Amino acid sequence: MSGQLIQFVNCKILRDHKFILDDFWVRDGKIVDPEKVFFDEKIKADKQVDCHGNLIVPGFIDLQINGGFGYDFSTGDTKKALDVVSKGILAHGVTSFCPTVVTSPIEVYHKILPLIRKKKGGKHGAAILGCHCEGPFINVAKNGAHPPECILEYTDGFKSIEETYGDIENINICTLAPEFNNSEEVIKELKKKNIVVSLGHSKANLKDGEEAVKNGATLITHLFNAMLPFHHRDPGLVGLLASDKCDTIYFGIIADNIHTHPAAQRIAYRVCPKGLILVTDAISALGLNEGSHSIGQLKIEIRNKMAFIAGTNTLCGSMACLLECVRLFVEATGCTREYAFEAASLHPAKVLGIENQKGTLNFDSEADFVILDSDLNLVSTWIAGECVYEN
Binding-site positions for Zn(2+) read 134, 201, 222
- The answer to whether the CB of 11 falls within 8 A of the CB of 55 is yes
CA 2, chain centre distance (Å): 30
Annotated binding-site residues read 134, 145, 201, 222, 225-226, 233, 259, 315-317
Residue 307 parent element (H or E): strand 306-309
Who contacts 41 (Cβ-Cβ below 8 Å, separation ≥6)? none
DSSP 3-state of 390: strand
Compute the Cα dihedral for 150, 153, 155, 159 and give only its sign. Answer: positive
Q: What is the DSSP string of 318-334?
A: B---HHHHHHHHHHHH-
Residue numbers annotated as active site = 281
Residue 208 and residue 37: Cα distance in Å, rounded?
Answer: 53
Residue 107 half-sphere exposure, CB side, CA atoms within 13 Å? 1
Instruction: Report yes or no: 250 and 218 within 8 Å, Cβ to Cβ.
Output: yes
The Cα–Cα gap between 340 and 327 comes to 8
**Amino acid, res. 245:** K
Rounded Cα gap, residues 281 and 67, in angstroms:
9
- Structural contact between residues 234 and 206, judged by C-beta atoms closer than 8 angstroms: yes
Annotated binding site for substrate: 145, 225-226, 233, 259, 315-317
Q: Which helix (H) or strand (E) covers residue 382, if one does? A: strand 378-383
Q: What's at 12, amino acid-wise?
A: K
**Nearest-CA neighbor of 211 among 195, 227, 190, 187?**
187
CA distances 342 to 2, 58, 115, 276, 362, Å, are 29, 8, 30, 9, 13
Angle between helices 158-165 and 183-192 (to 10 degrees): 60
Distance CA 349, CA 277 (A): 10
Which secondary-structure segment (H or E) carries 88?
helix 78-88
